[in-house]
Amino acid sequence: MKRALVSVSDKTNLVEFVSGLVDLGYEIISTGGTKKALEAAGLKTIGISEVTGFPEIMDGRVKTLHPNVHGALLCVRDNPDHVRQIEELGIRYIDLVCVNLYPFKETVQKPGVSHEEIIENIDIGGPSMLRSASKNYKFIPVICDPNDYEGVLKELRENGETCPVTREYLAAKVFRHTASYDAMIASYLTERTGEKYPEKFTITFDKVQDLRYGENPHQSAAFYKGMNPQYSLANAKQLHGKELSYNNIQDGNAAIEILKDFEGQPAAVGLKHMNPCGVGIGATIEEAWDKAYEADPVSIFGGIVAFNEPIHAAVAEKLSKIFLEIIIAPAFDEDAFEILSKKKNIRLMQLDTTLDVNARYKVTNVNDGLLVQDIDDHKITAADLRCVTNRKPTEEEIEQLLFAWKVVKHVKSNAIVLVKDNMTIGVGAGQMNRVGAAKIALEQAGEKAKGSIMSSDAFFPMPDTVEEAVKAGVTAIIQPGGSIKDQLSIDVCNEHGIAMVYTGVRHFKH
């Protein structure tokens, strides 16, 4: 009679699966809570201690780590010497393994959980059995995912065994499972010991979905989420519309990153190709949207918009009049949803914008490598600004300078942003020289540039950007400072009565 070893924390569809094995003539070896659950369902089991001839000890820490288990799992059944040894030792084969692991991730995420409880939820016996059996997948099917129960039973019923391709597929999944499990444990302990950039960098993600294609139709793609997504599109609820694309997710993420810098005030962000085309803040969310739209009504076509307050009917009516890919908001009232959902394909995403950003690092892939850095969550206040010109900015200008600085941080470098009356009026993004970015922003602003505020993500290497600002009528500038030719730009500002402040912080974005 064949034997199956079953020991699981996730008991989804467990009874149905094991009932199927019993119907196929399997004896069931089990442990602890799994054994109790199966016997409560009327299924006969063999206790692990009956197999090992040894009691569970140390509160269950040691129960399956025994030659009678691992010899049964690792024996190469077409190796005569292995077979001779197992027979001499009286070890019976185990023909199928179904194991999943202590809920380490769920334990770590529990509020107020103690370090001791977390440590106790590091599974040792489970990964050991999974790895032993998976190493020997030529002979043993190993199941760690309840989603595979039905397929395994189907093959066993039809063929009397699983096929080699299935066993290899299951073994690969097991090693991904245990690798992910170990990565979570390593991450927890690494963070606890304060190692920021350890000699090995292991991170793990769970698949959300396959995507139709990647950045372009000839590229395949998939979307994965972190272990505890909070302020993330992976945690957003799609209420309506087509499936998200790769570019939708990239742009949506960029939009909510900008939005996060405007907590506490109604804000609207319009975005295309990872750059904001319009950002507005106001006394109401409708006023914020009006400003974001007016900022660039051309580029917003086919774009993404994000809000940090619920959408009501008045805003929805305005949004419905233009072609948008995605609308992200904390909520849509009933009337707003009815208006917007008339458009079949528009994606309506609900996301709590008060949630915290869980990510500690920004990870960027390069050929055969990764770059890892802190996320750029640096913030400044009026107290952090250092005025370097004869004229000091007015209180109103300081307010607009800080607004402009929040926006330029999120624009691809070299970046210049112009703002006026709590809205962007010109965005120069991703240029190879700074004055080129300034000219784009100024051209977009046109006559509105007169009396506006300019922000720059990095210092001015030459005075030419300030000279362009003078021609357009800019009244105040915010930039990091730090060029060896800073004084040339300061002199131009002083000559024309422009106030300029330094932040001492650069915001390159590549």
Closest CA to 102 of 176, 207, 227, 10: 10
Q: Which of 2, 135, 318, 496 is catalytic?
A: 135
pLDDT of residue 60: 75
Q: Which domains does the chain have, with CATH numbers?
A: 1-191 (3.40.50.1380), 227-348 (3.40.140.20), 380-500 (3.40.140.20)
Mean pLDDT for 20-34 is: 93
Gap between the Cα atoms of 130 and 9, Å rounded: 14
pLDDT-based confidence at 49, cuts 50/70/90? confident
Q: Cα separation of 245 and 247, whole Å?
A: 5
> Mind listing the pLDDT tens digit for each residue in 362-397?
999 999 999 999 999 999 999 999 999 999 999 999
d(CA 435, CA 55): 77
Residues with Cβ within 8 Å of residue 44, at least 6 apart in sequence: 22, 28
CA atoms within 13 A on the CB side of 70: 14
Active site annotation includes 273: yes
Q: Which long-range contacts link 389-396 to residues 24+ away (Cβ below 8 Å)? A: 389/490, 389/493, 389/494, 389/498, 389/499, 389/500, 390/494, 391/493, 391/494, 391/497, 391/498, 391/499, 392/499, 393/476, 393/499, 393/501, 394/499
Give pLDDT, residue 227.
86
Radius of gyration from C-alpha coordinates of the chain = 30
Burial class (CB in 10 A: 0-12, 13-18, 19+), 137: buried
- The pLDDT score that the predictor gives to residue 275 is 96
pLDDT for 180: 95
Does residue 236 register a pLDDT over 80?
yes
**For the chain, what percent of residues have pLDDT higher than 70?**
100
State the amino acid at position 302 in one-letter form. G
pLDDT value for 291: 98
pLDDT of residue 263: 93
Matching residue, tokens 């909520």: 331
Q: What pLDDT, on a 0 to 100 scale, did the predictor assign at position 177?
A: 95
Looking at residue 56, its pLDDT comes to: 79
- pLDDT(15) > 90: yes
| pLDDT at 32 (0 to 100) | 85
Tens of pLDDT, residue by residue over 431-467, are 999 999 999 999 999 999 999 999 999 999 999 999 9
Whole-number Å distance between alpha carbons of 424 and 276: 9
pLDDT in tens, 151-209: 999 999 999 999 999 999 999 999 999 999 999 999 999 999 999 999 999 999 999 99
**256: helix, coil or strand?**
helix
Active site residue 218: no
User: Of 11, 225, 242, 273, which one is the catalytic site residue?
Assistant: 273
- Residue 57's pLDDT band, with cuts at 50, 70 and 90, is confident
73-110 confidence digits (pLDDT tens): 999 999 999 999 999 999 999 999 999 998 899 998 99
Mean residue pLDDT across the chain: 94
